[in-house]
Amino acid sequence: MQTPILRSYLFVPGNRPDRFAKALASGADAVIVDLEDAVPPSDKVSAREHVSRWLSPDHPVIVRVNAFETEWFDGDIGMCRLPGVAGVMLPKAEHARQLDAIRAHEGHPIPLLPIVETALGLWHAEALARAPHVERLVFGALDLAVDLQVDADEGLSAFRSQI
């Protein structure tokens, strides 16, 4: 079975369950329920609980988990075993072993979308892209610009091309 080409992604904050159905009805090719940047630290656990209760194979979504080195990563990945998770988006992906950790938590292959948004992630982009179950790399322009200390509009062309 061939994976469809997804051209439009809509992020919805995991702490806003009132917006989940609206996101699905938007017409976007994929909905990404965000547990990371869109959710303040004080709401991370409750956001995961909202998403866990809402997940269903009837409306599969991608889940953007919290970064590998955060206190929320293991809980987020554990939740991603539930039916209805169509993929896992990993922010601040820097090493293929981080993707190995996701696969170790999963009982079945799941598409992975590592976000390259640090200099180290950029350095290891090819290894990330070649890791099993990686569907595509995601370019995290704003965080990469901060990490590289360049202007996001002008200083990232070469890096965007590399990805």
Rounded CA-CA distance 6/24 in Å is 14
Helix (H, G, I), strand (E, B) or coil at 24: helix
The residue assigned the tokens 């090719």 is 29
In which element (H, E) is residue 85 found? strand 85-90
Residue type for 68, please? F
pTM as predicted: 0.92
Return the amino acid letter for 64.
R
Model confidence over 71-126: pLDDT tens digits? 999 999 999 999 999 999 999 999 999 998 888 776 678 899 999 999 999 999 99
Give the pLDDT band (50/70/90) at residue 1. Answer: very low
Say which residue, 116 or 1, is predicted with more confidence.
116
38-79: pLDDT as tens digits: 999 999 999 999 999 999 999 999 999 999 999 999 999 999
**Which residues contact residue 51 at a Cβ distance below 8 angstroms, ignoring those fewer than 6 apart?**
14, 17, 33, 35, 63, 79
**Would you place residue 26 in the very low, low, confident or very high pLDDT band (cuts 50, 70, 90)?**
very high
**Hey, what are 22's tokens?**
């609206």
The answer to whether residue 130 scores a pLDDT higher than 50 is: yes
Least confident of 16-30, 84-98, 115-129, 146-160: 146-160
104 membership: H or E segment, kind and range: helix 96-105
Tokens of 102: 């996701």
**Closest by alpha carbon to 144, among 91, 108, 105, 100?**
91
Residue type, 39: V
